[in-house]
Structure 1
Amino acid sequence: MNGRTPGVHPSKMARVKPVPAANLIVQLQSETSERAGPQLDVPQNITPAQLEILLNGLLTQEDGDKLPYSFHIQDMPLLGELGAHLQAHKVSVETVVQVVFQPQAVFRVRPLTRCTASLPGHKEAVLCVAFSPCGRHLASGSGDTTMRLWDLGTNMPAHTCTAHRAWVLCVVWAPDSNLIASGDMNGLIWLWKPDSNDPVGCCKGHTKWITSIAWEPAHKALPSRRFVSGSKDASIRIWDANTRRCTLTMSSHSMAISCVRWGGEDLLYSASRDCVINVWHAQDGHLVRTLKGHGHWVNTLALSTEHALRSGAFDHHGNAPKAAKEAQQTALERWQEACRGQPERLASGSDDFTMYLWEASTSSKPLGRMTGHVQLINQVQFSPDGRWIATASFDKAVKLWDGVKGSFVGTLRCHVGPVYQLAWSSDSRLVVSASKDSTLKVWDAASRKLKEDLPGHADEVFCVDWSPTGGAAASGGKDCVLRLWKH
């Protein structure tokens, strides 16, 4: 044999066309396994953009708009041609390929690329920073015992609130953006209006420092009136913002409270150094159930509907209906959309290097246990659409997990110091991390790659928040300077 194709003259070898690769049979289905149309016979070189066109045609949107979708195969995002993806991940093509589609936000947040303003004023480290739910105001708390409000139009200080006499450890906005609660190391909680440096009042009752505050969701009450606080004194208290009085006290935990959350199903969640998470009924304060599994302090909690609970009735432009009833109904619809007909999911992170995923409103058994970090977990954050979980750890890594199953997705490595905090963009495509190495880093959730490296701080970055409207992020740290980041 001379190596030539039998029956083909050498001069015609170059004109012989290769046999095209066989087509693939795929089934498009939602996260809840609902099929979108019949099985499809598609070429191997089909791309996500072409699949999106097919899917929009199958679903036939009522308003005629074409919605953006992402596609996953066995929990792995499809980023290129289908055939190459299946070969790279060793997925069998002898059976029907199940392609899971997920709707994405119609709007797109541009990645942070530069520091647009440095806001000096604090005399000690900035310990907490928070945008208002409407995205028009910014508040920060510091070790200099002040809480500051900033004018985002001029990038100048608006008000300096000086009622605290100890470090301000947490600053939390009410869902209607009309009140701010700030807690300090003396165990006091002060309430403020965003247009004044005079306090509305003080909530006294805790005997040790305040570790966490959460407001009642907008779809339960507007204007916002009640909030819950957790303290190192091991107690949880519900307050009436109008009277500044404690209406309920829960004290089942035996050690310091590290985090509290107020869920959309009228349940409260509290994490403690006693290694357990308690679920409480918000109306009468009775204990619903206790979640056990962690072997060390539970540091952080996150809800899958947290973004909808935080931003309430405001859309991605920061606009809301003027009537309270309409705003409350809008907030309810947003929360229901975030739940997608399922119970709220709760994620917890601990000093034991692990995370748990729970449906705490219905069961005390975890949906999954997430392992992979090799040092303690600082923060757990769901993406606004609830499909991803990002975790920050002392092991210098950010990890991504599936927000429904709790399965591991990928590790984001580039920091050279412990990662303290995370914040998601409102379209769930980007996540920013703040670290001891004095930098912030912006990551692309789909490709799991570094999008932007943001140096600028002169020392450790303790806190970061991304505006609900997506236009900017703010960070603060040991250098006592607040920095604003935009595209």
Structure 2
Amino acid sequence: MRLILWTAVCTREPVTIDTLAALAGIKPAKATILLQSLYSVLHVSQVTNMVSTLHASFPDYIFDEERSKRFYCDETTHSQLLSKHCFDIMRDQLRFNICSLETSFIADSEVKDLKARINRSISPTLSYAAHHWGHHVAKGMHCEETQTKLEDFLSNQLLFWMEVLTLKGTLDMGIAMLSLVKPWLTAKESPSNLVKILNDSWIFVSTFAAGSGSQSTPHIYISALAFCHPSSWVSQQYKGCTRQLLSLAGSAVEGSPTALLATWRMQSRPVCVAFSSGGSRLAIGFGDGTVCIVHAHNGAVAIGPLKGHTAKVTSVALSPDGSMLASGSGDGTILVRDAQTGNPIYDVIRGHEERVTSVCFSPDGKCILSGSWDKTTQMWDSGNGSLIPNSIKRHPYRINCAAFSPDGKHIACGLYSDECPIVVYDASTSESLPFPFDANQSWVLSIAFLPNGKHLVTGHFSGDLRVWSLQDGTATHSPPKVHNDTIRSIGVLPLGDKLVTGSWDRCVYMWDVENGYSNPCLLGTHDGYVYSAAFSPDGTRVASCSDDCTVKMWNPLHSTSAHTPRWKAPTVGVSSVSISPGGSRIAAAGGDKAIYMFNARNGTATVEPLVAHTDWIRSIAFSPNGRYLASCGNDHAICLWDGTSGKLLSGPLRGHRRLVQSISFSPDGKRIVSASHDKTIRMWDVGDETLTAIDLVGTHEDMVYCATFSPDGRHIVSGCADGKIRMWDSHSLSLVFDPSGSQWHKGSINSVTFSPDGQLIASGSDDGTICVFDSLGGDLVLGPLKGHERSVESIVFSPDGSHIVSGSFDGSVRVWAVKDGAPACEPLRGHQAEVYSVAYSPDGTCIVSGSEDSTIRVWKAPGSGVISDSSHFGPSGSDERETHRAIAGGLTVSEDGWVRNQDSQLVFWAPSNARRVFPGVGNVYTIGSEGTLYTDYSQPLLLGEEWGGCYVGAG
């Protein structure tokens, strides 16, 4: 009887008699009989057979040995028994594809009879065990038997368990259980391999739960496992249990494990974030004046967006008990809402005369501190919103940030001043501390107390981080400077051993307090200014937000030392790509003012980025012998570089008066022609590692977008914004003729190119068409070729002259047959933004494209056959076998990571670090800031209705 009583008291929720019996380890019939004598303390529903305690205080009585005497339950001992039985239940009942889902192409919500399948396949007993085993482990005693059960469960049923949680929509409970078990496991000596197993399992579940992939249970296998880092125990344990899944390679999935758990795209610019005290929810303030609360494990909106402010939200805070949400705004107001409903608790607080820059709750939750550009800090009663008497503190400068000390007795402020950037004062008396802080510091934009209450951390406009003693105001630490722009946010781990910083340099760094801040670790980067960063209370996650309209969630365990070399690739668009004449190197440049050179075989960087331009680089070109690389850009300048080492040889030279759009070498490599928005075309002499301006070739009536030499070097053809194409004699500089391009094109000429034999000129235009002219007389011989939906930005002939490849603002790359203008293949789709530049490899096997999405993609050229071992491009051996029918028509990647085919079916789900570089069909590999990524779609894949055959178990 005591066994069944103890089990009922220790369960986390009311359970059926069958579940109670299974947890107690007895037969249901016996449990039914035993329960009859416990009706005075336990309630058994006659309708549902659910068992629960009659009084909420009864467990306290049973767990008190002095009061309950012989009925006393040792919770630690009995919890260990319950965890054992939970593991046994899951071992016996969990299985692959537990609900017999027929296809991987749809979300679970589209399975019409899913609820019935769940009720039929997942028993209440299994559901209880799957949702509560972790709590019983954490409550139980530390013993070898439980460790063994835990390892066996994670090694054999982890993915099956995830199925149950995904189908039930409770993956967040799974994450919480794994988090609960970790301190239990590490409290006493445990096998190190088991700690790694648990950590890697947590990362795997958290990454899957945080993204849209969790909308479809089959993608635990189809996508999450496929993308799992090879160093992860989950990958090593479970990939061998599957077959014919997507096989991925490249540094994006094989390099250092990414700290990025999830990227959530927001409808407006997020400015500030704050975790709830339990870590399950995240408050976000936006630039449009709204606030929302999302579930911290997957970004789903729980409350909001909530309107009320008329300017951007500058700061958000959740009360310590999680009941209130406070927000401060640029409109000078403070709003306090019920954090469960979003409803205002009282009227808008209007006490400041300028923008509110900071709001936070006192540690006891009784008051709200606000700081403002009106040079005051003020405190408000959180119960009714009234100003606390004598709480207005006036300062000599604007307040950028403010914070309570851990005991609530002091307030620290960061000021808009170089002379007096830090003020700390008594919260009760408003008396400042009797010593100054170092005045030789730039403005303080972020401020935080360490949990010990003895130190203050400040983030400065200069990018410096400083740690101060609150005993005498001296700087105790001057950590190494890793941010090269303003530190806008500081988040402190409640335990006090870590802090995180977010900066306008787009980086999020983590700092180890205990090692003296000496080795900061990079969590990752955004594509825009980082405005806010915060630790979850348990330290397992970091949230950050940026003006790139994303909130990112990071895993602190996978940070990278600031001293570790970072992958170097374009970060702000790729406007131009060029391939060395030997085909061994790819050069790319764009908006981040640098040129990058990569090994064409695997996409790895061959040299450090080439830096000399001061603005967007528009065009780059290798010389015919590969000795030189030329570049031009928005800074009106032209540079000449060593084509192998990347050494700057000449420049920046400025002969043009406006941005230089195009640059090209003569066939003998002795001259360069450049085209500019100043309406001119200029010639440059290439000497021995020198570059000299020599002649003005000619002018157009409008901006010149492109110019290039003929294969024999005798002529130059140019294209203009007014739709005109002109040909010039490259020696006499006289106008040879003016092909009638404008009568065929209805927009600017963005690109012109000669065929290899020099007989044809092809042009691409803003009107989305391509025209091919006779180079001798200027007559139209082909086109206008239509297919692109937006402007054609770049065109080039194949080395044998049989094809033309084009890149367009519609994001596609197209290949056309010169003989008749017909498409040579389906459009090459993979870029997620405008394509600016295309190039053909010298051997004709591959096409390279660069895009606004900051990636470089290498494509297999149509009709080129197998990529040979002698080719410089990509892995050899890709054959001509047909791709899976579901992906043959191409793939598109959405912002939430879903990779869909032309029928909008859910083919794959890509985690945040792989979305931008996800390979398209025909894509040999992709280079991006995340690294390289490639796959072979000709390999057999089990997708859609075939997905059920992917799991074969341990072999």
Judged with a 3 Å threshold, the aligned counterparts in structure 2 of structure 1 residues 301 and 200 are, in CA distance, closer, same or farther, namely: same
Q: 1:294 to 1:253 in 2, by over 3 A?
A: farther
1:217-232, aligned counterparts within 5 Å? 217=406, 221=407, 224-232=408-416
Counterpart position of 1:272: 460
How far apart, in 2, do the equivalents of 1:94 and 1:44 lie? 9
Q: Deviations over 1:282-339 (max 9, x none)?
A: 333221101122222222111222xxxxxxxxxxxxxxxxxxxxxxxxxxxxxxxxx3
Spell out, residue by residue over 1:413-454, the C-alpha distance to the aligned partner (whole angstroms, 9 max, x if none): x9xxxxxxxxxxxxxxxxxxxxxxxxxx999xxx968xxxxx
In the TM superposition, residue 215 of structure 1 has moved relative to its aligned partner by 0.9
* Inter-CA distance 259–442: structure 2 relative to 1 (3 Å threshold): farther
Deviation, 1:203, is 4.6
Structure 1 residues 210 and 442 mapped into 2: Cα distance closer, same or farther (>3 Å)? farther
- Specify which of 160, 168, 192 is matched with residue 380 of structure 2: 192
| Counterpart contact for 2:303–2:342, Cα < 8 Å | no
* Cα separation, 2, equivalents of 1:160 and 1:177: 18
Task: Output the CA distance in 1 between the equivalents of 2:385 and 2:229.
Answer: 61
Report the alpha carbon displacement of residue 188 of structure 1 after superposing the two structures with TM: 0.7
Distance 1:379 1:97, change over 3 A: same
What is the deviation of 1:140?
3.3
Q: How far apart are the structure 2 equivalents of 1:94 and 1:225? A: 47
Q: Please name the residue that 1:168 is paired with.
A: 356
SS at match of 1:245: coil
Looking at structure 1, the residues matched to 225 and 345 of structure 2 have their Cα atoms a distance apart, in angstroms, of: 54
Contact 2:450 2:457 in 1 (8 A): yes
On the 8 A contact 1:86/1:92 being kept in 2, the answer is no
- Offset of residue 41 of structure 1: 6.8
Larger CA Rg, structure 1 vs 2:
2
AA of the residue aligned to 2:396 = T
- Inter-partner Cα distance in structure 1 for 2:412 and 2:518: 25
Q: Would the alpha carbon gap of residues 82 and 257 (structure 1) be closer, same or farther in structure 2, given more than 3 Å must change?
A: same
Matched residues in 2 for 1:81 and 1:61: separation?
Answer: 28
Aligned partner of 2:547 in structure 1 is 394
Equivalent position of 1:329 in the other structure: none
Task: Give the partner amino acid of 2:400.
Answer: T
In structure 2, the partner of 1:346 is 499
Bigger mean CA offset, 206-215 vs 390-399: 390-399
8 Å contact kept, 1:203–1:245: no
Give runs of aligned pairs for residues 11-50 of structure 1, distance below 5 A: 36-37=147-148, 46-48=157-159
The structure-2 alpha-carbon separation of the partners of 1:286 and 1:141, relative to structure 1 and needing over 3 Å to count, comes to: same
Equivalent residue for 2:557, pick from 404, 410, 430: 404
Question: Which whole-Å deviations, capped at 9, do the CAs of 1:385-438 have from their partners, x for residues lacking one?
Answer: 211223322334443332134159xxxxx9xxxxxxxxxxxxxxxxxxxxxxxx
1:303 aligns with 2:492: yes
- CA distance change for structure 1 residues 73 and 191 in 2, over 3 Å: closer, same or farther? closer
Q: Secondary structure at the residue paired with 1:72?
A: helix
Could you tell me how far apart the structure 2 residues matched to 1:73 and 1:297 are? 36
Secondary structure of 1:404 counterpart: helix
Residues 189 and 204, structure 1, Cα contact 8 Å, conserved in 2: yes
1:250 aligned counterpart, secondary structure? coil
d(CA) in 2 for partners of 1:116 and 1:160? 18
Matches within 5 A, 1:321-360: 339=495, 344-360=497-513
Which protein is richer in helix relative to its size? 2
What is the TM-score with the length of structure 2 in the denominator? 0.30
**Distance in 2 between residues matched to 1:206 and 1:353, nearest whole Å:** 31
Deviation at 1:204, TM superposition (A): 3.7
Give the structure 2 partner of residue 213 of structure 1. 402
Matched to 2:417, the amino acid is D
> CA shift at 1:169, angstroms?
1.8
Aligned residues: 328
| 2:436 matches 1:239 | no
Structure 2 distance, partners of 1:231, 1:71, is 41
Distance in structure 2 (CA, Å) of the matches to 1:154 and 1:374: 31
Name 2:332's counterpart in structure 1.
145
CA spacing shift, 1:273–1:124, aligned 2, 3 Å: closer
Cα distance in 2 for partners of 1:124, 1:95 equals 46
Q: Give the fraction of aligned pairs with identical amino acids, expressed as a percent.
A: 21
What CA distance in whole angstroms lies between the structure 1 residues aligned with 2:229 and 2:301?
Answer: 36
Q: Which runs of 5+ in 1 are unaligned?
A: 1-29, 63-68, 100-104, 306-338, 409-413, 415-440, 450-487
How far the C-alpha of 1:142 sits from its partner, in A, is 3.4
The letter for the 1-side match of 2:412 is V
Matched with 1:155 is: 343
Q: Which residue of 2 aligns with 1:294?
A: 483
Name the counterpart of 1:263: 450
CA contact (8 A) 1:143 1:168 kept: yes
Q: For residues 124-143 of structure 1, what are the alpha-carbon distances to aligned partners after superposition, in whole Å with 9 as ceiling and x for unaligned?
A: 55443433222333433334
1:467-482 paired onto structure 2 within 5 Å? none
Please list the CA deviations of residues 359-387 of structure 1 after superposition, one character each: whole Å capped at 9, or x if unmatched.
13431312423444343222222223211
Alignment deviations for residues 86-122 of structure 1 (CA, whole Å, 9 cap, x no partner): 77647489999689xxxxx9997794556579564x5
Amino acid at match of 2:557: V
What is the DSSP-based 3-state SS (H/G/I as helix, E as strand, rest coil) of the residue aligned with 1:285? coil
Q: The residue matched to 2:389 in structure 1 has which SS?
A: strand
1:213 counterpart letter in structure 2:
A
Tell me, yes or no, if the aligned pair for 2:204 and 2:234 is still in contact at 8 Å: no
Residue 148 of structure 1 and its aligned partner are, at CA, apart by 4.1
Deviation per CA, 1:35-74: give whole Å up to 9, x if none.
9459967897632565999997xx7999xxxxxx965169
Partner SS for 2:467: strand
Cα distance, 1:143–1:389 mapped onto 2, change above 3 Å: closer
Cα separation, 1, equivalents of 2:504 and 2:342: 41
Give the SS at the match of 2:359. strand
Name whichever of 285-294 and 43-52 sits farther off: 43-52
Q: 1:155 to 1:273 in 2, by over 3 A?
A: same
Q: Is contact 1:44-1:83 (8 Å) kept?
A: no
After superposition, the Cα gap between the structure-2 partners of 1:233 and 1:157, relative to the gap in structure 1 and judged at 3 Å, is: same
What is the match of residue 535 of structure 2?
Answer: 382
**Contact 1:44 1:82 survives alignment (8 Å):** no
> CA, structure 1 residues 145+46, in 2 after alignment: closer, same or farther (shift >3 Å)?
closer
- Contact residue 456 and residue 467 of structure 2 kept, 8 A: yes
When residues 232 and 91 of structure 1 are mapped into structure 2, their CA distance, relative to the original with a 3 A threshold, is same
- Whole-angstrom CA distance in 2 between matches of 1:370 and 1:246: 36
Aligned counterparts of 1:92 and 1:156: Cα–Cα separation in 2: 48
Map 1:420-431 onto structure 2 (within 5 A): none
Q: Determine the C-alpha separation between the residues in 2 that align with 1:139 and 1:39.
A: 42
**Does the Cα contact within 8 Å between 1:279 and 1:360 map onto a contact in 2?**
no
Which deviates the most, 230-239 or 84-93?
84-93
Segments of structure 2 that go 5 or more residues without pairing to the other structure are 1-137, 139-143, 163-173, 188-196, 209-218, 239-276, 282-293, 562-831, 833-894, 898-909, 913-955
What CA distance in whole angstroms lies between the structure 1 residues aligned with 2:539 and 2:221?
Answer: 26
Asked if structure 1 preserves the Cα contact closer than 8 Å seen for 2:375 and 2:397, the reply is: yes
Residue 312 of structure 1: aligned partner = none
Structure number with the bigger relative contact order (C-alpha 8 A, sep ≥ 6) is 1
Q: Which residue of 2 aligns with 1:419?
A: none
Q: Which moved more, 1:131-140 or 1:377-386?
A: 131-140
Secondary structure of the equivalent of 2:478? strand
Q: 1:250/1:203 Cα in 2 relative to 1: closer, same or farther (>3 Å)?
A: farther
Which one of the candidate residues 315, 321, 335 is aligned to 1:134? Answer: 321
